Every structure is written in C-alpha cells, then in structure tokens.
Amino acid sequence: MYHLGKVEAVYSPKDKNIVGEDNSTQALVEMWDSPKVIFRVADPIADKVKKDDFVLVDYTLRGAGQLAPRQIIVKILGRKLGTESWKSAQDWLEERKKKGAMQPPLAPGPMPQFERMTR
C-alpha cells in the first residue's frame, strides 16, 4: 500500500542548520487525508526531493510477521500527475465527508473510572 503526500519541508544532512547522527534525509509531509508526518526519504531520491513535491510513501509491511509498515518516501511524482492525484484524493475525501461516511475524531477527555474488580 502506498500513501500520497505533499512535501512541506526537507531535513537534509547537507543543511548547515541540521546536525545528525547519520546521513539520512527526512521530510515533513502533509498526507492527502490531512495528517502531517515526518518520513525518511529513500537514499536514491534523497537529493531530489524538495518542498511542494508530491510523493508516494511506502506503507507495505517489511516482511512476514512484521506489524509496522516501512513508512519511507519512495517516489516523487511529476507536477501534473501529482496535482491530478492530489485533487482526485481530496475530492474523494470531501464526498465521503458530505455523505457522513467519515466520522470526526473523538475529542480527548478524562479516562473513564473503572470499578475495582474483585474475584
């Protein structure tokens, strides 16, 4: 599974304002369905990704028995394809919201009080 996103910032080890323990590149990405997440950028495209690029994030599982997906940027889409894909995803999301198929997140609140269980 892959997830479409738009890059808001790139954190490169070549940036003089960044000091890191490795040479990996990360990017702050707004996903098509609203969350913002920082992902690692695959090494072969790390020098090519930039702000406002549309990207695909790999969410496939790492291997048998693994619960956590890879969560790494693996593709940079061309401007036209990225824009069309983004619009299509956003239109779909708006339609789902209008139909009431998307429930708003639960508001945080106090934890319910549980009575002590006895045997």
DSSP state of 99: T
Q: Kindly list the structural domains of the chain, giving each domain's residue range(s) and its CATH number in brackets, ordered by start.
A: 2-98 (2.40.50.140)
b vs e for 1-15, b when ≥16 Cβ sit within 10 Å of the residue's Cβ?
eebbbbbeebbbeee
Distance (Å, rounded) from C-alpha 73 to C-alpha 76?
A: 8
Q: Model confidence over 69-103: pLDDT tens digits?
A: 889 999 999 999 999 999 999 999 888 888 876 55
Q: Model confidence over 26-51: pLDDT tens digits?
A: 999 999 988 999 999 999 999 999 99
| Residue 6: closest CA among 92, 103, 81 | 81
pTM of the prediction? 0.77
